[in-house]
Amino acid sequence: MKKSESSRGLLAIPYAIFLVLFVILPLVVVIYYAFTNGDGQVSFSNFIHFWQSTKTIGTLLYSVVIAILTTAVCLVLGYPVAYVLAKGNFNNSQALLMIYVLPMWINFTLRITAMKEILTVLEGNLAYHPFLNTIICMVYDFLPFMIMPLYNALTKLDDSMIEAAQDLGATRTQVFYKVIIPLSVPGIISGITMVFLPSMTNYVVLDMVYNSTYIMGSLIGSYFSSYDWHNGSVISIILLVMILVVTLVSNRFTDSEEQGKARV
């Protein structure tokens, strides 16, 4: 028993080294620069500058709007697709699921370039609807990340609860809104988390389609490229806190749903 435990401990060493070198140490560096000034003294001036600057606040709000619209469209499009794939009478639903996942295997830049060309052909001039085209490209890029968790949640859905609701006289609409959607909340939360946060920082799409980098990811890159590590680190910390809050909230929803299922 001791030998097996020690061997498993040895197997964890490479991961521990990777964790220290590429996660913990960079995080320590970011925290150091975020809470110090140019003289290396502890200071909160970087955070004060962020919340007082119209440029950073405007970028944050614009990024949030892009992320909300992208997430909403992905959810509206992804939920019916995931439901049909999970509950439809197909010989091989896994094969159909792969069709939606296959675009993720193609290079990201190539996919966005192809979508840009398609939109250009359809509209004649991409500059007519740059913001709309940005949302379309964002949705095209992140839609599989919404479908996958929804599909996983819906495949685990207990069909007996649907049958029980129907036996009690519930219509199809009532079953969908009062049974299926509440039971698939963990998948919805996971999908929102996987789409909302990355779309806030995905400046490549804006740069290629909108010819603009007015988003949080590009702002971080501009600070670090100009060797302003203090302001760049502040934005990184703020985004990290947002990720932590969203993760905690999503876990709270998931835990409450699991406890509700257990009581049932």
- The answer for residues whose C-beta is within 8 angstroms of residue 37's C-beta and 6 or more apart is 43, 45, 46, 230
Work out the number of other CB atoms within 10 angstroms of the CB of residue 63: 23
Answer whether residue 95 shows pLDDT above 90: no
Q: Position of tokens 């290396």?
A: 40
Query: What was the pLDDT predicted at 185?
Result: 87
Beta bridge partners of 42: 36
Question: Environment class of residue 114 by beta-carbon count within 10 Å: exposed (0-12), middle (13-18) or buried (19+)?
Answer: middle
- Range 122-143 average pLDDT: 78
* Amino acid of residue 167: D
Burial 162-183 (b: 16+ CB within 10 A, else e): beebeeeebeeeebeeebbeeb
Q: Position of tokens 């913001």?
A: 131
* Amino acid of residue 208: M
Q: pLDDT tens, 221-236?
A: 888 888 889 999 999 8
Answer whether residue 161 shows pLDDT above 80: yes
Residue 71's Cα: distance from chain center in Å?
Answer: 8
Answer whether residue 125 shows pLDDT above 70: no
Answer whether residue 127 shows pLDDT above 60: no
Instruction: Give the range among 61-65, 110-114, 227-231 with minimum mean pLDDT.
Output: 110-114
The CATH number of 55-263, from 1.10.3720.10, 1.20.810.10, 2.40.50.140, 1.10.10.10, is: 1.10.3720.10
Instruction: Give the range among 100-104, 138-142, 195-199 with minimum mean pLDDT.
Output: 100-104
Nearest of 240, 156, 152, 158 to residue 190 by alpha carbon:
152
CA R_g for the chain:
23
Threshold 0.85, pTM exceeds: no
Q: How far apart are CA 186 and CA 252, in angstroms?
A: 10
Q: What is the mean pLDDT of the chain?
A: 82
Q: pLDDT tens, 172-207?
A: 888 888 888 888 888 898 899 889 888 888 887 887
What beta strand segments (E) does the chain contain? Answer: none
